[in-house]
Amino acid sequence: MTRLEAIEKIFSSITDEAVITSIGMTSREAYQFDRSRNFYLMSAMGSELALGIGLAYTRPDLNVVVISGDSSALMGLSTYALYEKLALKNLRVYVLCNYCNATTGGQPNCADTFLFMTLGNERIVTIEISPEKGNAPRIPMTPEEITRRFENAIRKQDEQVKCG
Amino acid sequence: MFIIGVPYSNCEYTSVLPCTSEPEAVAIACGAKLGGSECLVFMQDCGLLSALNTFIGLSDTYKIKLNVTIKFVETPEHHKKTCEMARIVYDTFRSNRKDIQ
């Protein structure tokens, strides 16, 4: 399965969830399924799950999905300890495993250990993907545009304002 | 106010969640802020150094405004270099951002 196919499969199960994607090709390919409730990380590698925890914890009315590459997950590994401890019902995480840093040229990582650690854990969904980089272009939105659109899309119904 | 951070000796704040690191605290606060909560992030000086990438790459780049408080603690000699560097970063930040106290 390619990364794009995996992301497409995840999005096919998504309705009104807020989705946060990790840096690199994961975000770029998720942009192919763009919607206002998507938040694309294009910097701060490894902070996607923490971002999701902050959102899900303070907004129990909202379901949050984090889609992370395996290298990003490894960079923010300690956050998985907090994720396990909190066991938030409105947060779930998918980790796409290609065992390398595909965006930067395929340098190997240590995701095999990650997979071993999360074996049998139903709260962390790992999906094995092929190691090709893919060819999705850079996301044309600025980070600030991503923030403002996302904030507005997830605003509680009674506080919703018209955007732009 | 959603208060989150990493404790230091004689810390006056209590974190809502048991954070594992300063970058994580910053990212959690950013997530809470996206959801509409006002946040306060606390940490000590050397924590600022490890959280730098998240402060800039997430809070600054994505224009997610946070209240931040940095505690400059008394440090032993062997720790001086780290704290000096933290002070430089802090001063640079303060000149650019009004939200750091």
Question: For A38, which residue in chain B has the nearest alpha carbon?
Answer: B34
Asked whether the beta carbons of B58 and A47 are under 8 A apart, the reply is yes
Q: How many angstroms separate the CA atoms of B2 and B67, rounded?
A: 10
- pLDDT given at position B94: 80
A58 interface with B at CB cutoff 8 Å: yes
Write down the mean pLDDT value for chain A: 94
Task: Summarize the confidence of residues A52-67 as an average pLDDT.
Answer: 98
Average pLDDT over residues A66-76: 96
Predicted confidence at residue B97, as pLDDT, reads 64
Rounded to 10 deg, the angle between the B22-34 and A48-58 helix axes is: 50
Nearest CB to A44 within list B16, B21, B58: B58
User: Which pLDDT score is estimated for A164?
Assistant: 44
End-to-end CA distance of chain B: give it in Å, rounded.
16
pTM (predicted TM-score): 0.93
- For residue A158, pLDDT over 80 is answered with no
Looking at the complex, report in whole angstroms how far the Cα of residue B30 sits from the nearest Cα belonging to chain A: 6
A73 touches B: beta carbon within 8 Å: no
Q: Which residues of A80-110 are buried (b: 16+ CB within 10 A; e: fewer)?
A: bebbeeeebebbbbbbbbbbbbbbeeeeebe
Instruction: Answer whether A41 sits within 8 Å of B58, measured CB to CB.
Output: yes
Interface predicted TM-score (ipTM): 0.93
Give the least confident one: A87-91, A106-110, A153-157, B31-35: A153-157
DSSP E strand boundaries for B8-92: 39-44, 67-71
Domains of chain A: 3-159 (3.40.50.970)
Position B80 scores a pLDDT of 86
Mean per-residue pLDDT, B43-66: 94
Which pLDDT score is estimated for B100? Answer: 54
B59-88 pLDDT tens trace: 999 999 999 999 998 778 888 888 888 899
Best mutation target, B2, B20, B59, to test chain A (most A CBs within 10 A): B20
pLDDT cut 70: percent of chain A above it: 95
For A30-50, the pLDDT digits (tens) are: 999 999 999 999 999 999 999
Q: Is pLDDT of A163 > 60?
A: no
